[in-house]
A and B are shown apart, each in its own frame.
Chain A
Amino acid sequence: MILLSTILLLFVAAFFVWALRHYLTATPLRGWMLALFPAGSFGLLLWQTLELGDSAETLSIPWIPTLDLSLSLYFDPLAALFGMLITGIGTLIIIYTGYYFANDKSAWRFLSYLFLFMGSMLGLVLAGDVITLFIFWEATSITSFLLVAYKYKDEAARRGAFKALFITGGGGIALLAGLLFVSNIVGSTEYATILNSGDLLRNSEIYLVVLSLVAFGAFTKSAQFPAHIWLPDAMSAPTPASAFLHSATMVKAGIYMMARLNPALGETEAWFWLLSIAGLTTMVVGAYLGTKQNDLKALLAYSTISQLGILMMLIGQDTEIAFKALIIGIVAHALYKSSLFMSVGIIDHETGTRLLSRLGGLRRAMPITFVIVVIAALSLGGLPPLFGFLAKETLLATAVHPSLPLLMTWLFAVAIVIAAAFKLVQAGLLTIDVFTGKPRDPAIHAHEAPKGMLFAPAVPALLSLALGILPEPKQLAEFFGEAAAASYGAPVKVSFALWTGLSIPVALSAVAIASGMLLFWQRQRLITWQRQLDGWSFNQLYAAVLATIDKGARAATRIQTGKLRFYLATFLLAMLGLVALTSGSAWTLPTGQGGTSGLHMQFDIIRLLALVAIVGGAVATVVIKRDFFAVLALSATGLGVAVYMIVEPAPDVALVQIVVDILATVILVLAIGRLPLRLRETAQKLRTGIQWPTLLIAVTGGFLVTWISYSALASRPRPSLVTPFYRANAKILTGASDIVGAIIVDFRALDTLVEIGVFSLAGLGVYTLLRFAAIKHADHGQAIDAQTPLAPHPLQTLGIGGFRVSPYIRAMGDILLPVALVIGSIHVLYGHDQPGDGFTAGVIIGLAIGFKYVVFGFQETRRRLWWLRPNILIAIGISIAIVSGAATTIMTGSFLSPVDYGEMLSLPLPTGVKLSSGFLYEIAIALSVLGSVGLMLDTLGRPAVDVDLLAEPPAPENRGN
């Protein structure tokens, strides 16, 4: 719990800053006071470290017990080392921030972000399982985003912040994926288990995938080449943030992660090569690029990159000395780099610039800063007697370790010497060029910073010195050794002795120092030469990634043309692909054998004619340009299908097909009749001829469907299961001798109920959309016959559109409705025993009404059919169905089950007529269908004459992109 409290303390601090933002004065005192939080956290960690036994301390809070997930902490010397670096340097940073933002009351925001970051960072290193780690990992990405974008009005700050967030946050997700794989292989998300399952992981077949994902996450976070590009841009953060994030903490997260996972994932060839090459490249590139920077912060940023490369490379090794070098390198870098960052911040603060070209001769004005920078920079340059020297020595010792292949030894040694030489140049630039000589810019009037502000960078600088020259503190060395051992997986001995006798590393070190001095002496030439080589940077890679995303986005949106035709084609193609994918392998040529029913190859003249009607109608629908004729052709197709069904024989289905086909035609004709003529003409002109690609897709689709249907018929594995069942049971169970009637009303009563609901909704939909559109267009149902008739147009069919029709047809219109009512009643009454049912009844009556609309026009029809209230018919219909269903429930315990009321009450009914629940249901169906049809007709029959619309060009089809 103490461990948890070290993290919580920092989050409490963030809250504290926010809560007291109006009361905390903008004086340095604010920083000193707030520094108590991280200091307290540091103290607790120190105490815990001293208490720490041989094994790691863990704490687990169950989170999702079902998945065996918990939020855990894992505390061992490695975590302790990082934790103390974070809180220790954090304390100094907070003090420093107090001075940096003195007189800025709004800086509470910065302080609170800083605490949030610190808490997340501490959480990251103390995390004991994959999920906790990931949560804190992303939290550091987000909080560092806030810190970098603190000066958000500055475009550069926004860009830099987004770049950092994108690269590190994205890497975090890759890391999560990798760690999920790890957990999956190991069977647990806990470190304690993962770290002991190294062999399992290394032998896993997806080891390389895991390794790449984890390494990708770590490399992005720790600014490894070529993902390093975010770090220099993140320098737009206020200096305290840079000093903290980019020296000791955030960029070390990837290092920590890899060091932590070394026992589990490391010690393989792939691990060695991946980390060595990445680290080596990063080290050289960082050192090289840092030297040519003019901005001191950028210089420090590149030197950080270089150091991160060194550390990453060290983790890749499989030798004891490497991990000794790793721990020393981490600590040395954290000390001198934070000190240098803070000093640069002071210089910037006191002179108003941090450009090398403007600075110089600050030694007189800022003596203390000078001393601090000298110490830290010498450590950076790897000169004795500072801690940085030791770091470089051990590094070189690693490079010449006999276990390495000779080629690698050479490569390492040369690279390290080059990098070390460049670093020495950087150290020189930081000290000699900035502090000695004459001021380059006379406008700059420097003065020394307040003593308190100097305290913060002085502490780590002095520690760099102390660790180098003081007699070896035994406990500390042991602690470092334990931390290294936690990462190495075997004991590591650490000593701080600077001089270990004349050896190859010392010799190499001397070469490095000598060449560094040489380079520094010739620095003008070097930097000029370097700047001439400019022009290519890895920012282009980032830009390329962004461009790829943009290209991908373009490609992904290109198919989104907004054109329906195109969507349909894609749809069809995708359907073909999908069907091929699911069933492609299983198809064999249908042989017609094995099927029980076989394929009936009957062909007679009726079937042939029907076929001609179906195919011809379908083709004509596509080819014909005039809309009315196309609709009629479509209708012919439907009727052709109906003929087939009659021949089959399936009279019920055929009946439904016929009435629905006619109804659809009537509705389409009415709908088209409402459209403004000019719009229709334009649309017809737009109907182009056959387009070959479209035709190809259509033919392929048709062929596939035909193929499937053919094999469906040819190799049907068994005859219908249901027909015999219904044939046997319909009469007994439901009292119906028409199977289809029985299915609709009894066996599948629920389907039917939903279906009439859907049908009613469709009617309601037509009504809602068209009526309200009409009202919006200020059309109050004014009849067309009341207006001046438009000039006759060849496209208009007779009978609608306000033309007077012949008396013969008017008489038909009058007769048809009563006849339809009679037929409908018969369908309802005898639906149980013969073709026809409530649905056909409703549609047939509806058709007669539709005929009236066509013949008489809207107003007269409304006058004649004043009793027709479609809404009420629908409501009564559905209500009867539900009430009747509920009644049968009460009586038989089954919803919509058959009950014969006529028999129960022994009513004297004519033969064949039954007053049963089925009968009531038929009535319900008929009424709601009639209501829905009536609603559509009423809406569509209403003329929508809007003169304005006639003049309007066709609405553009889309705005898709």
Chain B
Amino acid sequence: MFAAPTLNLWVITPLIILTVWAIILMFIDLFIPAGKKQWTGWLTLVGLIPALALTLMQWGQTGGAFIAEGGQPMVVVDNFATFLNTLYLLTGILAVFISVSYIRDAGLERGEYYFLMLFSIVGMMLMGMANDLILIFLALELLSIPLYILSGFDTGSDTSEESALKYFLLGAFSSAFFLFGIALTYGATGTTSLPVILDTISLDDPLALAALGMLLVGFAFKVGAVPFHMWTPDVYEGAPTSVVAFMSIGAKVAGFAALMRVLGQGFPMWGELWQPAIVVISALTMIVGNFAAVRQQNIKRMLAYSGIANAGYILIGVAASATDPEAISASLYYMLAYLFTNIGAFAVVIAVEKLDGQKGLLVEDYKGLAKRHLLLSLALAYFMFSLVGIPLTGGFTAKFYVFGAGVTAGLYWLVVIGAITSVVSAFYYLRPVLYAFMYEGPAVARVSRGLMFVLVVAVFATLVFGIFPGPWYELASQATFGNVATFVAGG
């Protein structure tokens, strides 16, 4: 057989588990009666939890599978991929807990919801593991198509359908650029394999530079960076909230995963060239995201802009990695902390949202929440503090690391913009908190057991990241590319 056929099946075992389980679940779902679809939801965990366990066991190991031409594996597992895979799987598990009661109460309870989510997670995981541009593209589609469908899951609701359509059309548009970027890269280097690109690329080839620009467009779209962010608020507002909670983390992290791998392993020596582009995008993203959020009355739109703004902060670490590859550890840690804070915030939104006719989604609807739901309001306040970046929260340590990475890399002005926009962010993050605690109002919430679980986990995790960030940051810093020597075939 050709080219070192040692197969590391374990490299993709978590993926296989999820895929196979998703297919099996499609059949099981046929036998679950209409009113009991929550079982499909809980059964999703049967796939997710073992996949998570296996992923955790992959920590510290490096290997590749599917050797393509050029002798490089198409799929790799390293700490970087494992770290991010853990993030997706955790997101998935928490999203299941959020979704079960939500989609039942919203009248959207259908089995497809869950296995679409599973397929999307497979796509996300593949994004971080792919070592080849074509596979990254496929992973991008694999993760996106289920999300397009899930966004429009509330069929019959104009906003949900509009959301799905916009997401799909703009997504397809960005995919086209991404593909063009791959084609140009191929034209410049004769390969799509990242390590081979690294070996063969010539430093001043305008073609490859244009290719890089096109690739960046695709990633910037996926992570919701300005000016490719415009789909985000419309999609977040229209899509079912549980879907938004899932994709606001999963899709964003996956976009960053591929971005970091492409920049860090395909084009690292071009740091000087792509750093300005990332810096500009990062600055714009922080500014536009934070300022636009100030005016939002709808909390889902607000969180959409908040998601945009946070992409800007994560990009600081990416920009810094141009000079110091270790700097992405800050961004990795940021995403870890952001995962829990953000899913917690969405859990609160879901608790307050009233499903008859999209009510309870305005910031004003939080007036008086603390009177009746003190603990929920405290959780809300804590998540919002974390998003602002106030000490003793995960959000603070996360911002601290990315700012620190920016300072070390000499990106002073970017950090200053980050600091100023953080101040602006207090405006909109604290508003629901003020309304909840200081105003009289009729706000009520329903906290299902699943939501309760997510809230407790999120508060706990945010607290742990806020107080003992050390070990977690340590993990993130082991997940950078610098610690992984090479992807020797079969290694």
Contact = CB atoms under 8 A, between A and B. Distances in A.
Interface of A: 62-67, 69, 131, 134-135, 138-139, 142, 149, 152-153, 158, 162, 165-166, 169-170, 173-174, 176-177, 180-181, 183-184, 206, 209, 213, 549-550, 552-557, 559-560, 562, 564, 567-568, 570-571, 573-575, 578-583, 586-588, 705, 708, 711-712, 715-722, 725-726, 729, 732-733, 747-751, 754-755, 757-758, 761-762, 764-765, 768-769, 772-773, 776-777, 871, 875, 878-879, 882, 889, 892-895, 897-898, 955-961
Contacts of A134: 391
Given A553-B291, A553-B294, A897 B213 contact: no
Given A722-B191, A768-B112, A895-B65, A170 B155 contact: no
Contacts of A131: 400
Given A578-B277, A761-B119, A142 B390 contact: yes
Contact of A582 (B1, B274, B392, B470): B274
A83 B158 CA distance: 61
A875 B415 CA distance: 51
Interface in B363-411: 389-392, 396, 400, 403-404, 407-408
Given A166-B426, A586-B204, 11 more contacts: A67-B473, A173-B389, A180-B400, A181-B415, A571-B217, A575-B214, A581-B213, A583-B210, A711-B206, A761-B116, A957-B162
Given A177-B415, A750-B74, A750-B75, A894 B5 contact: yes
Given A66-B477, A556-B288, A571 B210 contact: no
Contacts of A879: 23
Nearest to B138: A754
A726 B69 contact: yes
Interface stretch (B54-62, B88-96, B140-148, B446-454): B140-148
Q: Rank and list the top 5 A-B pairs by shortest CB-CB distance, nearest first.
A: A583-B209, A579-B213, A721-B190, A170-B423, A556-B292
B206 to A, nearest CB: 4
A66 B474 contact: yes
Contacts of A62: 470
Contacts of A560: 230, 233-234, 292
A761 B142 contact: yes
Contacts of B19: 757, 882
Nearest to B288: A556
B144 to A, nearest CB: 9
A336 B224 CA distance: 56
A582 B213 contact: yes
A183 B403 CA distance: 12
A754 B70 contact: no
B408 A550 contact: no
Given A66-B474, A181-B407, A571 B68 contact: no
Contact of A705 (B153, B159, B180): B180
A106 to B, nearest CB: 15
Given A721-B191, A748-B68, A582 B209 contact: yes
Contacts of B319: none
B482 interface: no
B69 A776 contact: no
B155 A64 contact: no
B23 A955 contact: no
Given A66-B477, A720-B190, A772-B110, A895 B138 contact: no
Contacts of B419: 173-174, 176-177, 213
B434 A754 contact: no
21 contacts: A62-B470, A67-B473, A153-B438, A176-B400, A176-B403, A180-B400, A180-B415, A213-B416, A553-B294, A556-B287, A583-B210, A586-B205, A586-B209, A732-B2, A751-B138, A757-B122, A764-B112, A769-B164, A894-B1, A894-B7, A960-B234
Contacts of A69: 470
Contacts of A180: 400, 403-404, 407, 415
B231 A567 contact: yes
B216 A582 contact: yes
B412 A209 contact: yes
A875 B28 CA distance: 13
Contacts of B217: 571, 574-575, 578
Given A776-B156, A960-B233, A139 B391 contact: yes
B42 interface: no
Among the interface residues B122, B156, B295, which one has the most CB atoms of the partner chain A within 10 A? Answer: B295
Contacts of B438: 149, 152-153, 158
A797 B142 CA distance: 35
A583 B212 contact: yes
Interface string B212-247: 111011001100000110110110010000000000
B70 to A, nearest CB: 7
Contacts of B470: 62-66, 69
Contacts of A889: 7, 9
Main secondary structure of the interface of B (DSSP, over half): helix
B313 interface: no
B230 A897 contact: no
B32 interface: no
Nearest to B218: A575
Interface string B345-375: 0000000000000000000000000000000
Contacts of A719: 190
B473 A66 contact: yes
A925 B171 CA distance: 25
Given A66-B474, A586-B205, A773 B66 contact: no
Given A152-B437, A181-B407, A750-B66, A758 B142 contact: yes
Contacts of A63: 469-470
B172 to A, nearest CB: 11
A131 B389 CA distance: 13
Contact of B407 (A184, A578, A733): A184
A549 B294 contact: yes
Nearest to A158: B438
B5 A892 contact: yes
A875 B23 contact: yes
A765 B155 contact: no
Contacts of B422: 173
A711 B214 CA distance: 16
A958 B234 contact: yes
B483 interface: no
Contacts of A555: 291
A750 B281 CA distance: 33
A113 to B, nearest CB: 13
B486 interface: no
B16 to A, nearest CB: 7
A174 B390 CA distance: 13
B139 A564 contact: no
A62 B469 CA distance: 11
A135 B274 CA distance: 35
B177 interface: yes
Nearest to B409: A184
Interface in B156-177: 156, 158-159, 161-162, 164, 166, 169-170, 173-174, 177
Contacts of B487: none
Contacts of A757: 19, 119, 122, 142
A895 B210 CA distance: 35
B179 interface: no
Interface string B181-223: 0001001101100000000101011110110111011001100
Interface in B272-303: 273-274, 276-277, 280-281, 287-289, 291-295
A571 B216 CA distance: 12
B152 A769 contact: yes
Nearest to A171: B423
A169 B161 CA distance: 41
Contacts of B392: 135
Given A67-B404, A149-B438, A180-B403, A557 B292 contact: yes
Given A582-B273, A777-B156, A758 B110 contact: no
B412 A773 contact: no
Nearest to A719: B190
Contacts of B166: 564, 567
